[in-house]
Structure 1
Amino acid sequence: MSELSVSVLPGILGIDAALWDGCGAQANPFTTHRFLAALEQSGSVGEGTGWHPSHLVARLDGRVAGVAPCYLKTHSQGEYIFDHAWAQAFERAGGQYYPKLQCAVPFTPVTGPRLISAFPEVQAALLQAMAQVVRQSGLSGAHVTFCTEAEAELGRGVGFLTRASEQFHWQNDGYASFDDFLAQLSSRKRKAIRKERERAQAFGGTIRSLRGDEILPAHWDAFWHFYQDTGSRKWGRPYLTRDFFDRLHDTMRDDCLLVLAERDGRPVAGALNLLGRDAIYGRYWGCIEDHPFLHFELCYHRAIDWAIAHGLSRVEAGAQGEHKLARGYLPSQTHSLHWLSDQGLHDAIDDYLQRERRAVREEMEVLTEMGPFRRTPRDT
């Protein structure tokens, strides 16, 4: 009989990077030890942020066999799978929704593994450990967000509720070039994108895609201003600290693709992407000058260019945004898991999620039908 145990780690630096990444965390840049460490060491998560590291480490016969990035949360900000209504309803009924346990990558609506292990029994043990932490600590529940479909199925089997949501992803159908991709669109959409790209590229400067050592400290200084502007408008205050970007440069610049628009030698807009083994993940955008369609060029079209040139299978351009549909990004279902300690709250959310899943499925069908791709070979 194998011995399986799970412990709680109050900080990512409490485990060697090779042990954490060796469980399979390298498959996604956001679950790597170096990314989570950059968040903690920069003060973007931790004391005073409402994100308190409580990572799970599973050991099989004494050896690390699985990990899960987890946090005690005192609010629901920076998650992108919204449960504010659940919290309000529970607290109106006299319950205490916070703190809760969140298995997620902070501020990152990117799909990927959350129960990081090669062994299904270890993945199940990580979920069961989350429920145990909730019971022992008197928390309202545990939530696993943007997990894989396989993890969602496994979670259902051990008593977690499953939730469906949607994002817009671009899929690479073996395109040889951007024009090859455009050839699959309807004539009207194809012409619109070409015109859009022409107007964006005529903003009066140049656009560069930088990776690794091509990214200089001055580029991060410029991007920090872009990020602050966007963050202050979207969330009231930016989630990430300036030090986070320095640490990202030190440990992950080869995983970064920074697309910059420069005018008169000065960056005026930028989009930051992270590169996975088979996908490019769009994360942040900002600007100090407004130019027509420049946002779409830097965030969406340049990401497609890169994915085609480097043989990546898809582009994930972040949460929400039906405006992505016209640019070839189609609805893609995302998954999360939820375990509630209060039976009444569990039953109410279960009923809600069943209805929500049907609504999400129907909406995805409608949006896909509205997509820009040709319906028949003659629609050219």
Structure 2
Amino acid sequence: MQIRALSAIDEIAPARWNALTGTDNPFLRHEFLAALERHGAVSADNGWVPHHLVLEDGDTLVAAAPAYLKGNSWGEFVFDFAWAHAYERNGLDYYPKLIIAVPYSPVNGPRMLINGDYPVEGARQALADGARQVVDALDISSVHWLFANDADMAELEAAGYSRRDGCQYHWRNAGYHDFDDFLGGLNAKKRKNIRRERRRVDEQGLTLRTLHGDEMSPELWTALHGFYVDTFLAHGNRPVITRDCFVELSDQLGDRLVAFVAEADDEPVAAAICLRSDDTLYGRYWGAAAEYDDLHFEACYYQGIEYCIREGMDRFEPGAQGEHKVARGFLPVLTHSAHHLRDDRFQAAVDDFLARERPAVAEYADTLTAEGPYRADVLETLPRG
């Protein structure tokens, strides 16, 4: 088997890529990755240069991983700015580095996409080793696997990568019949607060509709993209997804794209844009034309919870960060990444840091869980992880 890199996802046929195990995750579909490249969100100007890894046995695609040469650390959500500064202080180049990740998306899942006709562990080991061979050949600082699932992490740690833990806040479906059933498991104060927030949305004359990608018009996307751009700029962020990129994702992903659209007098005023797999809803983009009391909570959290209950989905991952999510039914979940730095001195320093960081992150998650919104008897029965 040999490993090589692709300079664009379109160098491989969509059907070949999508036939690999793991591409039921919408962020790992060829269509999603290609749209980001085609419309410039992934580009050298934005610090993302495609360098996708493919493992081949003759003409057979054995495995692959979405990979990029990064010229900065923006849009990754596993923060290594301090590592980059340490390199700089010592006169070394941290960038470019190789990352295996989904651009701009802190979503958990497989990073090693495997041909089901080949031994899985052998393919994973070859990818883990192959990524290091790539950074050696390019003479760059490091390789980082971000938000990898447990199976990939086990192989990466066995191959000598260093594990870093982070924390997100996920909602898990305990077989709820409806939203009131979910609320019944919360303590009285949190239950009352959520009902008050939802009532305020109604009192402002706002209604919400759930639309899938194949139900959305180009005209609606023009409005929603404007909300997204204005909101990103207002918070000092750079809106890299173009309107045409959203339209393409809508067309290509169909019902895997879900939008919760808020309307006033039958006109859209805000939206939360999500993607979904069979069992998980992923919150990604939010935008609003104006400030409305508690609309963000309704569109970005409560509509998603209702959708998961209605669709029988297991999990809702609303995005990175935000302790305020805990009060609204989302509990801490540890996330994982794997790192290899070619400079032994810096690898040792990072290992020392991670050995101290991991237990601190675990303690933080345990504390927030214990202080969370669920009744103690309910918390014991909730799906975890």
Q: Same fold (TM over 0.5)?
A: yes
Name the CA distance, whole Å, in 1 between partners of 2:247 and 2:236: 22
Please say if residues 214 and 251 of structure 2, whose CA atoms lie closer than 8 Å, have aligned partners that are also in contact: no
1:304-333 per-residue CA deviation (whole Å, 9 max, x = no partner) reads: 000000000010000000000001000011
Aligned pairs (5 A) from 1:73-222: 73-117=70-114, 118=116, 119-222=120-223
Q: Contact 2:169–2:332 (CA<8 Å) still a contact in 1? A: yes
Q: Distance in 2 between matches of 1:203 and 1:6?
A: 57
Aligned twin of 2:263: 262
Hey, what's the Cα distance between the residues in 1 that align with 2:167 and 2:181? 27
Letter in 2 for 1:66: A
Question: In structure 2, do the counterparts of structure 1 residues 106 and 234 end up closer, same or farther at CA, with 3 Å as the change threshold?
Answer: farther
Go from structure 1 to structure 2 and tell me whether the alpha carbon gap of 1:236 and 1:275 turns closer, same or farther (over 3 Å shift).
Answer: closer
- Structure 1 vs Structure 2 CA RMSD: 1.2
Q: Tell me, which stretches of 5 or more residues in structure 2 are unaligned?
A: 379-385
Q: Which residue of 2 aligns with 1:67?
A: 64
Deviation at 1:376, TM superposition (A): 4.3
The equivalent position to 1:49 in structure 2, one of 39, 46, 51, is: 46
Larger CA deviation: 43-52 vs 234-243: 234-243
The equivalent of 1:305 in structure 2 is 306
Please state how far the C-alpha of 1:61 moved relative to its aligned partner: 5.0
Q: Is the 8 A contact 2:168 2:321 kept in 1?
A: yes
Paired with 1:376 and 1:124, the residues of 2 have a C-alpha distance of 42
Q: What secondary structure is seen at the aligned counterpart in 2 of 1:27?
A: coil
| Mapped contact 2:200–2:294 kept (Cα < 8 A) | yes
Structure 2: how far apart are the matches of 1:186 and 1:270?
29
Distance in 1 (alpha carbons) for counterparts of 2:375 and 2:237:
41
SS at match of 1:59: strand
Structure 2: distance between partners of 1:201 and 1:65: 52
* DSSP 3-state at the match of 1:26: coil
Aligned length: 374
8 Å CA contact 1:231–1:239 kept in 2: the answer is no
Measured in 2, the distance between the counterparts of 1:213 and 1:193 equals: 31
Verify the 8 A CA contact 2:221 2:243 in the aligned structure 1.
no
* Corresponding residue number in structure 2 for 1:281: 282
Secondary structure (helix, strand or coil) at the match of 2:91 reads coil
Tell me which amino acid in the other structure corresponds to 2:349. A
Superposition TM-score, scaled by structure 1 size? 0.96
Distance 2:291 2:231 in 1: 12
Give the CA deviation at 1:267. 1.0
Q: Which residue is equivalent to 1:368?
A: 369
Moved over 3 A (4+): 233-236
Identity of aligned residues (%): 44
Counterpart CA distance in 1 for 2:234 and 2:130 is 38
Q: Deviations over 1:47-104 (max 9, x none)?
A: 3221000001112354111110000011111001000010001110121100000101
Contact 2:212 2:257 in 1 (8 A): yes
For the residue of structure 1 that corresponds to 2:46, the secondary structure is: coil
Aligned equivalent of 1:333: 334
In the TM superposition, residue 205 of structure 1 has moved relative to its aligned partner by 2.7
Q: 2:8 aligns with which of 1, 8, 11?
A: 11
